[in-house]
A and B are shown apart, each in its own frame.
Chain A
Amino acid sequence: MDAFLFLTFAAIAVVCGINIIVQTHPISSALSLVGVMGALAVLYLMLGAEFIAAAQMIVYAGAIMVLFVFVIMVLNAGGERLTKRSAYVRIFGVPLMAMFLGLIAFVIQAALPRGEMVTFGAFTRGGPADVGRALFTQYLLPFEVVSVLILIALIGAIVLARKEID
């Protein structure tokens, strides 16, 4: 059951990920990215990260990607104009990427011991209470710094995107 769920949602994530790269119009890419985030939220639930799964859907898929979709709709610039790449990219691009991926997979397999299984329900300390406790005691300084960062980003976005008053 765990393997079935993992394979289904991993397949959805990879297919949506490939779709991001393959589609010409940015809005299809944006919605495929929302699909990736949804699949990842389910995988987080399987790893026992309940709060992070909910935060992923609320913050990432429900706010950040809505912002992307808004900007694409407002700019309305149409699909991408396909340009020809150089011969190197067309011939060696995908094989090189596959080799890079193979290298990473080999390092993972070599570095980590086999036999460690992820079972649903084995990790129960990912709930909001535990995350909140760690966030407000051990990681309080990064939390405050990150709230100042959001304030800076907020001010920056408002200043950049407003109309100039002449």
Chain B
Amino acid sequence: MNFYLLTLIKTGLIAFVLLTALAYIQWIERKVLAHIQLRPGPYRVGPHGLLQPLADVIKLITKEGFIPSHVNLFFYVLAPLLAVALALIPIAVIPFGPEIDIFGVRTWMQLTDLKIGALFVLAVSSVGVYGVALAGWASNNKYSLLGGLRSSAQMISYELPYALALAAPLLLLNTLSFREIVNAQAGYYLGFIPRWTIFQAPLPQVLSFIIFLIAGFAETNRIPFDLPEAENELVAGYHVEYASMKFAAFFMAEYANMVTVALVTTLIFLGGWHAPFPAPASNYIPVVAHVLIAAIAFYHGTQPIRSWDKYTFPATGVICLGIAGLFLVPVLQPILMPLFWFIAKAGLLLFVFIWIRGTLPRFRYDQLMNFAWTFLFPLAVLNLLATGFMVAVFSK
């Protein structure tokens, strides 16, 4: 098929799925946080709050886009634009699966593969600091400016451990292109331990994984590093003067950054789309998982709490059984299996992001900066040195 047409189709598909996913990650976050805090969360808008993101989107679009009179208009409008554009760009280089064959068209499940894919993601996250800094500046408000400066100082401070923790597994993988990074993690040791980077000889990259994840929390301004933008600190920081869609843009940018960090961590440390155990057994796991979910849904459907639970739970159960059946179809397996494993691992990481949000208190700003410069950065350097040493001594 024509290359441009194919890329256009892939772009449309990924954009649609990504934007819907961003809205629903917000729903998942609210539900998980609510259950951690022993309350139901969004419950009324649609069954179990499933239409809540839609309601939020409608509210944000129809709200008055109030622009205060004292702001620097060009930068005020540019900042959320920059933030959301730079947050959505890295998805272009992330592969969701191996090369597949749909209706005779052979293509990778990826928009484009750059030889410097990992550097590209680093570059875009470096330039993403401007959205925050400009938002703080343009609002012409001293609290906003302080919040913006603190937030951008935090982001550039944690870029160093982020990049160093990214460099250590690259010594093992020997390539910067994401396709080859995942291909280098194929196969199994002793027949059942996957060759993911966190298990790989000569040095399992567990420390790099932890450092990368911590730095990723700080880069995306998530708890426990979200002091510059918390609601009760500094009047919600750099986005206090923003209303409706521009505020929604910052929100979307934050979730997109979170998704990017989760996806990149999965690709580099957790083996991308490769299953944890060898092929024939692991093909049944998605089926079993979906059948379990269907069973739970049917069970809760027999004990309805609200009047429409009699219908929505069994309907969910039937949908999950249908998806389980899809995983058994051999023609669709090469497409669905890698996608399932990739989304499962990335979803687990996103759950960890949300879980930590519900559990940990936040750092004070000087504790945060101290942690980056006096602890995390030397640790990342030592980790890189240790990995380099092991690779030099034990590789052929």
A→B interface (CB under 8 Å): 27, 31, 34, 38, 50-51, 54, 57-58, 61-63, 66, 69-70, 73-74, 127-128
Contact = CB atoms under 8 A, between A and B. Distances in A.
A74 B176 CA distance: 37
B45 to A, nearest CB: 40
Nearest to B137: A73
Contacts of A34: 127, 130
A58 B130 contact: no
Contact of B119 (A58, A73, A74): A58
Interface in B46-87: 75
Nearest to B127: A62
B116 A128 contact: yes
B130 A66 contact: yes
A31 B134 CA distance: 10
B152 interface: yes
Given A57-B123, A57-B127, 7 more contacts: A34-B127, A38-B127, A54-B123, A58-B123, A62-B159, A66-B129, A70-B149
Contact of A61 (B127, B152, B159): B127
A66 B133 contact: yes
Contacts of A73: 133, 136-137, 145, 148-149
A50 B116 contact: yes
Interface in B88-127: 114-116, 119-120, 122-124, 126-127
A66 B120 contact: no
A130 B66 CA distance: 52
Contact of B116 (A31, A66, A69, A127): A127
Contact of A58 (B126, B149, B152): B126
A127 B177 CA distance: 11
Q: Main SS of chain A's interface residues?
A: helix
Interface in B135-172: 136-137, 145, 148-149, 152-153, 156, 159, 163
A127 B115 contact: yes
A140 to B, nearest CB: 16
Contacts of A62: 123, 126-127, 129, 156, 159
Q: Main SS of chain B's interface residues?
A: helix
Nearest to B163: A58
Contacts of B145: 73
Give the interface size class of chain B. 20 to 34
Interface centre among A31, A34, A62, A69 (most CB of B within 10 A): A62
Given A54-B120, A66-B156, A127-B115, A74 B149 contact: yes
Contacts of B156: 62-63, 66
A127 B180 CA distance: 15
A51 B116 contact: yes
Contact of B153 (A27, A70, A128): A70
Contact of A54 (B75, B116, B148, B149): B116
Contacts of B149: 70, 73-74
Nearest to B124: A57
B145 to A, nearest CB: 7
11 contacts: A31-B134, A54-B116, A57-B126, A58-B122, A61-B126, A62-B123, A62-B127, A66-B130, A70-B133, A73-B148, A73-B149
A57 B124 CA distance: 8
Contacts of A51: 116, 119
Nearest to A74: B149
Interface centre among A51, A66, A127 (most CB of B within 10 A): A66
Interface centre among B116, B120, B136 (most CB of A within 10 A): B116
A12 to B, nearest CB: 15
A61 to B, nearest CB: 6
B133 A54 contact: no
Pairs of residues from A and B, 7 with the lowest C-beta to C-beta distance, nearest first: A62-B126, A57-B123, A54-B119, A58-B123, A58-B126, A50-B116, A62-B127
Nearest to A127: B115
A144 to B, nearest CB: 16
Contacts of A57: 123-124, 126-127
Contacts of A74: 149
A50 B122 CA distance: 14
A128 B124 CA distance: 18
Nearest to B156: A66
A51 B75 CA distance: 30
B153 A63 contact: no
A40 B119 CA distance: 17
Contacts of A38: 127
A57 B89 CA distance: 14
Contacts of B129: 62, 66
Interface in B174-205: 176
